[in-house]
Amino acid sequence: MPHAVTLQEVADAAGVSVATASRALSGKNRVAADTVARVRAVAAELGYRVDPIARALREGSTRIVGMIVPVIGNPYFAQLVDAVEHELHRAGFELLLADSHGELAEESRRLTVFGDRKVDGIVIVPSHRQRSAGALRAVGAEIPLVQIDRSAGVSLADYVGVDNEIGLGLALEHVHERGARSLVYVGADDVTSSGVERWNAFDRTVDRESVAVGEPFRGDFSLATGAAAADALVARRELPDAVIAASDLIALGLIGRLREHGVEVPRDLLVTGFDGTELSQVLAPTLTTVVQPIEAVAADAIGFLLSRIAGSTAPVRSSRVAPTLLVGGSTAR
């Protein structure tokens, strides 16, 4: 083990004290220009790199940001992690990742650990619309925190997510245009903010004058929910013209299971998804879906977080990014 170079060694080699060496390298105090040059040269030659742990102990800052997602296995969250990680690295931060598996206890345990480890900031997709609030408030009082995709209260901490109202509007308008006059919503329950918002958006936006709205089916955002919804739909007397799904996974699970029942999309039924994951664009039928601008969401969220880390005490902000509609085969006539 080549024994990492310490500041002391650099100082000795340059013939100065550690204090001066530190100042020369950080460059924010008055040190003679030639001393700076000499120390820098020696440091480079010896391959000196600051010990982030020692610095963290002294500074109380780690240049690490923690992120908690409900389930990394969902491609949407995988893409979100990817985007967040990219933004963080650009800013010189590392990403400490944790998976709450949608469980409140796990989530709050992870938050505590992040606090103990003195991460500089936290990016979280809260697992619960209301019950996540307590832990978030507690940790958020100590550490800059931004909610992404879902929220546990927009007054709690900065939040960035997609505008679900616009998204559902796009989907509804599209299927209406394609002639659908009876609809069923298949989405997630009221545990998450997205679950609530998308349902409300659907409920408020749909024009009950001109279309018939069937009993909604609500579970979570998974393939399994889509499949279960398919079973339920088939069991009903008649099929709607279109199903508005609250996630791509739901839509895919639904389409797959419907086919097993002999119901073909879009022949017998139109379907729209939500998220715009890459995989939804591959198999037939390709999905008509509301595309979330993941990079933009991530960029905004990290922007908020970094400004908080930099000390901003601006009022809590909440930002909604507009999604777009990608028309695929699942709503073809």
Partner DNA sequence: AAGCTTTGCGTAATCGATTGCACTCTGCGG
Partner DNA sequence: CCGCAGAGTGCAATCGATTACGCAAAGCTT
* Residues that bind DNA in the complex, under the rule CB under 7 A: 4, 6-8, 15-20, 22-23, 25-26, 28-35, 48, 50-51, 54-55, 57-60
Nearer to DNA, 58 or 333 (CB): 58
| Three-state secondary-structure class, residue 139 | helix
Cα distances (Å, whole numbers) of residue 173 to 161, 265, 286:
22, 19, 19
Q: Counting contacts by CB under 8 A, is residue 5 touching a copy of itself?
A: no
d(CA 158, CA 136): 11
116, 177, 209, 238: residue in contact with a copy of itself (rule CB under 8 A): 116
| 16 interface partner picked from DNA, a copy of itself, none, CB below 5 to 8 A per type | DNA
Which three-class secondary structure state does DSSP give residue 217?
strand
- On whether the CB atoms of residues 314 and 272 are closer than 8 A, the answer is no
Q: What is the closest distance, in whole angstroms, from the C-beta atom of residue 42 to DNA in the complex?
A: 13
Using CB distances below 5 to 8 A depending on partner kind, what does residue 97 bind out of DNA, a copy of itself, none? a copy of itself
Shortest CB 279 distance to DNA, Å: 45
**Which listed option, DNA, a copy of itself, none, makes contact with residue 239 (CB within 5 to 8 Å by class)?**
none
Does 141 sit near a copy of itself (CB under 8 A)? yes
Say if residues 123 and 146 touch (Cβ distance below 8 Å). yes
* Site for a copy of itself contains 322 (CB under 8 A): no
CB 44, min distance to DNA, A: 14
Selection from a copy of itself, DNA, none that 73 binds (CB < 5 to 8 A by kind) is a copy of itself
From residue 155, alpha-carbon distances to 5, 89, 110, 146, 299 in Å are 47, 28, 22, 11, 20
Nearer to DNA, 49 or 208 (CB): 49
How many Å apart are CA 276 and CA 73, to the nearest integer?
Answer: 16
Identify any residues that bridge with 68 across adjacent strands, giving them in sequence order.
98, 124
What would the two tokens of residue 40 be? 């820098």
148 touches which of a copy of itself, DNA, none (CB within 5 to 8 A by kind)? none
Among DNA, a copy of itself, none, residue 20 binds (CB under 5-8 Å by kind): DNA
Binding mask 65-104 for a copy of itself (x = CB under 8 A): ------xxx-x--xx-xx--xx--x----xxxxxx-----
How far apart are the C-alpha atoms of 44 and 199, rounded to whole Å? Answer: 58
Count CB atoms within 10 A of the CB of residue 333. Answer: 7
- Nearer to DNA by Cβ, of 33 and 314: the residue is 33
Backbone angles phi, psi at 215, to 5 degrees: -55, 125
Return the closest-CA partner of residue 158 out of 136, 173, 175, 188.
136
In the region spanning residues 30 to 69, those forming contacts with a copy of itself, defined by CB under 8 A, are 49, 51-54, 56-57, 62, 64
Q: Measured between alpha carbons, how far is 134 from 131 in angstroms, rounded to an integer?
A: 7
Amino acid identity, residue 9? Answer: E
- Count of chain residues binding a copy of itself (CB under 8 A): 46
Residues in the chain: 333
For residues 64-100, one letter each, b for 16 or more C-beta atoms within 10 angstroms of the residue's C-beta and e for the rest, the string is bbbbbbbbeebebbebbbebbbebbeeeebebbebbb
Angle, helices 18-26 vs 33-46, to 10°: value is: 90
Task: Identify what 322 binds: a copy of itself, DNA, none; CB under 5 to 8 Å per kind.
Answer: none
Compute the least distance from the CB of residue 64 to DNA, in Å. 16
| Residue ranges in contact with a copy of itself by CB under 8 A | 1-2, 49, 51-54, 56-57, 62, 64, 71-73, 75, 78-79, 81-82, 85-86, 89, 94-99, 113, 116-118, 141-142, 223, 252-253, 255-256, 259, 278-279, 282-284, 286
